[in-house]
Amino acid sequence: MFGEVYDSETGLPVNALEYNPWRYWFRVSVGAAVTAGQVIQYFNTQPATGTRTTNMPSPGAQFPQSWTVYVLGMAIRPAAGTTPADLILMYDNFYVQIMVGQNKIWTQGLMHDFGSGGGMSGQTTLNASSIVTNGTPNAASIEPFPVPLKLSHGLTFEIQIICPTATTLSVARNIDVVLPCWQRIPA
């Protein structure tokens, strides 16, 4: 699905003997009232005590020492039960960017540019509440980055969902960001 990944330092292909496939995820609960200019941040902070909002080994914007992670793409998954009206509001009002290092924008796009690759599918009349999706529930609907993003220890990163205008959703929602990747963890 994502093709061959090459190590930028050695030029050698990454393979499953040295790297393993993984999906890092981070969940944020977004209130129903999203204020103008609000930035929803992912992968940058420790999760609250007693809750599991991420599977990052050390959430705090970077990976442990001697780890190397190639991020192949990004999926955004609004919570199950998201109404068509709320998804349309998110599409119309939210955009997404990946920040790497000291406030460098690595990539940016509209929320619908980052299909979920999983979750629900369905139909709606827009008059009655129905199931709605952010992409086909198929991993192939996650569009790969043109070049994988290489993250290693010491390089900070953060995903941001930004809402430039005030938006009111029907209820508070969880929005997950999922990063399919290859990772090398030293033995």
Domains, the chain, with CATH or none: 20-46+53-184 (2.60.120)
pLDDT by residue (tens digit) across 124-135?
666 665 655 555
pLDDT above 90: percentage of residues in the chain: 14
The residue with greater pLDDT, 109 or 80, is 109
The residue with greater pLDDT, 180 or 83, is 180
Per-residue confidence band for 104, with pLDDT thresholds at 50, 70 and 90: very high
Query: What's residue 10's pLDDT?
Result: 59
Query: What's residue 130's pLDDT?
Result: 61
Average confidence (pLDDT) over 30-38: 87
Closest CA to 7 of 49, 92, 70, 74: 70
From the CB of residue 62, how many other CB atoms can be counted at a distance below 10 Å?
A: 18
Rounded to whole angstroms, the Cα distance separating 168 from 86 reads 8
Rg of the chain taking only CA atoms, in angstroms:
17
Q: Is the pLDDT of residue 182 over 80?
A: yes
